[in-house]
Amino acid sequence: MKTEDLKNSVRAIPDYPKPGINFRDITTVLSDKRLFQFMINQMCIPWENQSIDAVLGIESRGFIMGSAIAYKLNAAFVPLRKPDKLPYKTFSAAYDLEYGSTEMHIHTDALDNFQNVIIIDDLLATGGTALAAAKLIEKFGKKNILGAGFFIDLPSLGGSALLREKNITVHALIEF
């Protein structure tokens, strides 16, 4: 199997969730066990020889990949959630999407026992979500963000360049 197989399996849905957005639907990959396993295995490769304490998965598709990656890397999984989804005290960071704005939250004690972390999500577009994740990590003091991993990068939208400007290493399996 090759990464080209993954790319060919992603379904494009024009004008979703609003006109002008070309949504990349990964459910076609998730529903094929061979493609899903290959995707997770490939997303783990950049981190295999690093000491990862925690994988931070961005709601919601980042949960799917992040938890599987955390399991394979023998690391903890920490969810980054939408507003009003976490029951304990939280830190928050506001951010813009290409089609709106929102906030991301993390429990105030979520990274207390972790030093080396990575951020995982399904897709990198404008970078707002991943930059908000980095802002949340900064609220915990000196933590090492070893990088951010994505199934898909849309480099024309500038997110990967913004993350690199912040000295965050970016790994993506495929680009559109």
The residue annotated as part of the active site, out of 59, 61, 103, 175, is 61
Q: How far apart are CA 132 and CA 142, in angstroms?
A: 16
**3-state secondary structure at position 67:** helix
Q: First-to-last CA distance in the chain?
A: 19
Please confirm, yes or no, whether 138 is among the known catalytic residues: no
What is the CB neighbour count within 10 angstroms for residue 26?
22
The residue annotated as part of the active site, out of 48, 98, 138, 165, is 98
Please confirm, yes or no, whether 61 is among the known catalytic residues: yes
What is the CB neighbour count within 10 angstroms for residue 38?
18
Interhelix angle 33-44/61-72, rounded to 10 degrees, is 60
**Per the omega criterion (within 30 degrees of 0), is the bond before 60 cis?**
yes
Say which DSSP state 10 is in: P
User: Which residues are known to be catalytic?
Assistant: 61, 98
